[in-house]
Chains A and B, each alone.
Chain A
Amino acid sequence: GNSVTQMEGPVTLSEEAFLTINCTYTATGYPSLFWYVQYPGEGLQLLLKATKADDKGSNKGFEATYRKETTSFHLEKGSVQVSDSAVYFCALWADSNYQLIWGAGTKLIIKP
């Protein structure tokens, strides 16, 4: 079946550090892949997406590349800010039943 696995958090970094949050997936076919972000006490916001192999999604300095050969969609940012502190969710769109399949979320803490 379809599934998404994210690295466990919390991930704690200093401001201006390089960020990587790992996400791997299991799916049949060619699912669309997403990163959503949830700031404290809020709902989720779409951060970026990619719909086919080798696509790179990017937004607000974050980027992720759809790697079919490694079934991965790792989130990266070159220089994080305190305001990036949030929970990040990786997800895939399952065409088979038109549902989003979610990872467990990774909490990111950025210290000044």
Chain B
Amino acid sequence: DGGITQSPKYLFRKEGQNVTLSCEQNLNHDAMYWYRQDPGQGLRLIYYSQIVNDFQKGDIAEGYSVSREKKESFPLTVTSAQKNPTAFYLCASSISPTVDEQYFGPGTRLTVT
């Protein structure tokens, strides 16, 4: 079955540690996205990638980093510079950057204490 996988579903870290969230897709999609979801708020775009080896900052990129070395994979690192990292993180993909339908993974809930 084609889809997007995110692992782990729950992640716990101590303050000051970097943590990397995994996102893998086997849909052969060119574009991939990372969103952050906080209670009572819509999704906010962290980073997106239109093609392998290329990515752009979204609205809230500070304290985050990404890489896109393979078409299938778009890992997100939450660094210690992110002031409020506890949130639900969603990865999405679309066939191409100009196509409007996005497909979402199940999300990773990160808790930093």
Beta-carbon contact of B101 and A46 below 8 Å: yes
Q: Among the listed B44, B45, B48, B90, which residue makes an inter-chain contact with A43, where contact means beta carbons less than 8 Å apart?
A: B90
Residue of B with least CB distance to A93 = B100
Residues of A contacting B106 in the complex (Cβ-Cβ under 8 angstroms): 42-43
The stretch that binds B, out of A60-68, A72-80, A94-102, is A94-102
Chain A 1-16 interface mask (CB, 8 Å, partner B; 1/0): 0001000000000000
Which of B's residues lie within 8 Å of A, judged by CB?
4, 6, 40-45, 48, 58, 90, 92, 97-98, 100-107
Q: Is the interface of A mostly helix, strand, loop or mixed?
A: strand
Knowing A89-B42, A89-B43, A104-B40 are in contact, say whether A49-B101 is a contact too (CB < 8 A).
yes
Knowing A42-B107, A43-B90, A44-B90 are in contact, say whether A100-B41 is a contact too (CB < 8 A).
no
Beta-carbon contact of B90 and A100 below 8 Å: no
A32→B44 CA distance, assembly (Å): 19
Q: Is the interface of B mostly helix, strand, loop or mixed?
A: loop
Residues of B contacting A105 in the complex (Cβ-Cβ under 8 angstroms): 40-42
The number of chain A residues touching the other chain, given as a range, is: 20 to 34
Residues of A contacting B107 in the complex (Cβ-Cβ under 8 angstroms): 41-43
**Any chain B CB within 8 A of the CB of A26?**
no
Beta-carbon contact of A100 and B102 below 8 Å: yes
Q: Among the listed A49, A93, A102, which residue makes an inter-chain contact with B42, where contact means beta carbons less than 8 Å apart?
A: A102
Beta-carbon contact of B104 and A43 below 8 Å: yes
A36→B89 CA distance, assembly (Å): 16
**Any chain B CB within 8 A of the CB of A59?**
no
Besides A43-B4, A103-B42, A104-B41, 14 other A-B contacts (C-beta < 8 A): A32-B100, A43-B90, A43-B92, A43-B105, A44-B104, A93-B100, A98-B98, A99-B48, A99-B58, A100-B43, A100-B102, A104-B40, A105-B40, A105-B41
- A-B pairs, top 7 by smallest CB distance, nearest first, are A102-B42, A43-B104, A93-B100, A44-B104, A102-B43, A104-B42, A43-B106
**Any chain B CB within 8 A of the CB of A71?**
no
A21 to chain B: closest CB distance in Å? Answer: 14
Q: Among the listed B44, B97, B105, which residue makes an inter-chain contact with A98, where contact means beta carbons less than 8 Å apart?
A: B97
Residues of A contacting B102 in the complex (Cβ-Cβ under 8 angstroms): 46, 100
